[in-house]
Structure 1
Amino acid sequence: MNVVCPHCLKVNKIPKKDSYTKANCGECKNSLLDTTPIELTQETFDHVVVNSDIPVIIDFWAPWCGPCKMMTPIFNEVSNKYALKALFVKVNTEIEQTLASKFLIKSIPTIAIFKEGNEIKRVNGALDPLKLSSLVNENL
């Protein structure tokens, strides 16, 4: 399966397994098991979403948004459970207004799930860890 390195954004082909103890990027040699959400821009968005064979969980947010600030540690915490099962990314709608407009983001935070380059699910508003985990599990 193809996965995008969270460090250098290089596409890596790795065998699909139930769990991984080690997986490193062929380009930068950093761990593909790093679950820290990636900050996407207009320039990197399509590359990451289209080239990922695992679901891409996108948090559309803005730094001035109170619920977004509450959601950030939850998003980061839940991402830790899904190494090489889902890719967690963030889009700052304040900076990336073109992306926010393209995807018709009308309220934030908005969580969108993409599979095979297409949006398959969207939820508006902050979620607690259980609801976010359930949303991800339903779309793996």
Structure 2
Amino acid sequence: MSEPLHVVCPSCRTTNRVQSAQLGSDPSCGRCKQPLFQGKPVSLDEAGFDKQVARSELPVLVDFWAPWCGPCRAMAPAYEQAARQLEPHVRVAKVNTEEAQALGARLDIRSIPTLALFMGGREIARQPGALTRPEDIVRWARAQLAAHAPA
């Protein structure tokens, strides 16, 4: 049975209602008409992060990174590939900790890269350090989601 889900547009941040059965049919934002999923990580600032985590009913996987970080750059291609496998059932995002320092401090991000998985407005799992193979990122995210699935 298809249920309506709230999905936040990565372009204009409008919250859209999408039937769960239609997630894979390339839904677009009702406001700006941009695709809700682009097969790549969405770059978020602090306000965008807060909106995605608080309003989206999809899990949100976030890579906290910085441009000067070698392991972050090494993980980036694998994270891009993982996004194509996880979307549209997981919102895949990136937060540049140099640009969103207050967010990094609020979430106690102590090392980068750090993957954090959010569901229902709260963090459910965290993985510090680079995962450089897309299958490792996908496996980790899916394992965490399965472990935190409602009974």
Using the size of structure 2 for normalisation, the TM-score is 0.87
Give the structure with the higher percent helix. Answer: 2
User: Any idea what SS the aligned residue of 2:24 has?
Assistant: coil
**Deviation >4 Å, runs of 4+:** none
Gaps of 5+ in 1: none
**How many residues align structurally?**
140
Q: Which moved more, 1:38-47 or 1:97-106?
A: 38-47
Q: Aligned partner of 2:74: which letter?
A: M
Using the alignment, how far apart are the partners of 1:51 and 1:36 within structure 2? 20
Using the alignment, how far apart are the partners of 2:91 and 2:38 within structure 1? 10
Greater relative contact order, per chain length (Cα 8 Å cut-off, separation 6+): 1
Instruction: Give the deviation of 1:37 after TM superposition.
Output: 1.4
Q: How does 1:1-140 map to 2 (within 5 A)?
A: 1-17=5-21, 20-127=24-131, 128-138=133-143, 139=145
Identity across aligned pairs (percent)?
38
Instruction: Give the deviation of 1:4 after TM superposition.
Output: 1.1
Gaps of 5+ in 2: 147-151
**Pairwise CA RMSD:** 1.4
Using the alignment, how far apart are the partners of 2:26 and 2:109 within structure 1? 36
The answer to whether the 8 Å contact 1:3/1:84 transfers is: no
Q: Aligned partner of 1:46: which letter?
A: D
User: Any idea what SS the aligned residue of 2:74 has?
Assistant: helix
The answer to whether the 8 Å contact 1:56/1:114 transfers is: yes
